[in-house]
Amino acid sequence: MSEFAIEARGLVKQFGSTRAVDGVDLAVGPGRVLGLLGPNGAGKTTIVRILATLTRPDSGSATVADHDVVTEADQVRSRIGLTGQFASVDNRLTGFENLLLIGRLLGQSRRDARQGARTLLARFELAGAADRPVQGYSGGMRRRLDLAASLVGKPRILFLDEPTTGLDPRARRQLWNLIGELVTAGTTVLLTTQYLEEADALAEDILVIDHGRVIARGSPDELKARIGTRTLVVRPASPSAVETVSRVMTELTGSQPERQGGRLSVPANDPDLLSALVRRLDELEIALAELLLRSASLDEVFLALTGQRVESEQDQPQVES
């Protein structure tokens, strides 16, 4: 018996000339939540697919619930739930029929499958839409149904690949709450995300992935200490003041702000920083056109960890506070 619910050593997967996964080690203790954080194309989905028995690694090995994902795939499959990157529910069935079918495929009696489906639909706030075809569901409803479908077999281990990508903030919160409840109930979760905020909200341990490699690992607090979770953004009303403001920001935060046009941004962890800055600039009689504190974007995480920007174009949610 391993002390880990999920354990992988030296995973490698190559597609043509792309090394999608390049020597990844990871371990998730029972009942814990690991977040894989990385940009598009980092290899997150491929790692999940290997662990969920959908793809064989070229080298390395992994066990899930003490069973090897390659040689004991069937034992692994009966112990996991998987919610893929794109909601994979049947659009032409109703929500109820989707869950009923999964229950039947898992060997539940007709009665148990029906009952289980209704219970899950109620818990995921889909009872009202249960008998409507999934075609007409919103993105958030579809995601919730997808998650519910992964839970029909009551798995102790759950894989969630970008569970909230493409959802609006409200639907995202709702899904976070549902995932939180599962974790409280003791489910082991491995999830992937492109959002630091999401990894912070859900995961106890985070692996930062880039180009198929783990470039940083730690608890959200450890990573935040290295990265700075928030970014202070300042734009003086007059461009001639940019130099002075930049100097003040360096003094207060200890790091050189980044400059984009007339706008300066710097990682900021100290909650008193904002008022300190306002006071200093007031003394210097510098007027500001813009002043805000926002969550660090993935781009900034990568900049802090690797000194490089994320290569791929992507939409990053800028949650302003």
What sign does the dihedral 123-124-129-135 (CA atoms) show? negative
31 binds, among another protein, Mg ion, ligand ADP, none (CB under 5 to 8 A by kind): none
What sign does the dihedral 114-119-124-126 (CA atoms) show? positive
In angstroms, give the least distance from the CB of 18 to ligand ADP.
5
Does 194 help bind Mg ion (rule: CB under 5 A)? no
Nearer to ligand ADP, 7 or 162 (CB): 162
Give me the amino acid identity at 242.
V
Residues from 136 through 165 that contact another protein (CB under 8 A): 149, 153-154
Cα 42 to Cα 125: distance, rounded to the nearest angstrom? 33
φ, ψ of residue 279 in degrees (nearest 5): -60, -50
Does 61 help bind ligand ADP (rule: CB under 6 A)? no
Which residue of 36, 50, 62, 82 would you call a contact of another protein, by CB under 8 A? Answer: 82
Does 18 help bind ligand ADP (rule: CB under 6 A)? yes
In angstroms, give the least distance from the CB of 206 to another protein.
24
Terminal Cα-to-Cα distance of the chain (whole angstroms): 46
Does 108 help bind another protein (rule: CB under 8 A)? yes
Compute CA 68 distance to the chain's CA centroid, rounded to the nearest angstrom: 25
61 to 90: interface string for Mg ion, x by CB under 5 A: ------------------------x-----
In angstroms, give the least distance from the CB of 129 to another protein.
15
φ, ψ of residue 183 in degrees (nearest 5): -65, -45
Strands 230-236 and 288-295: antiparallel
Does 89 help bind another protein (rule: CB under 8 A)? yes
Which residue of 2, 59, 71, 74 would you call a contact of another protein, by CB under 8 A? Answer: 74
Give me the amino acid identity at 63.
T
Residues from 21 through 60 that contact ligand ADP (CB under 6 A): 38, 40-46
* Closest by CA position to 196, among listed 265, 294, 296, 292: 296
- Applying CB under 6 A, the residues found at the interface with ligand ADP are 15, 18, 20, 38, 40-46
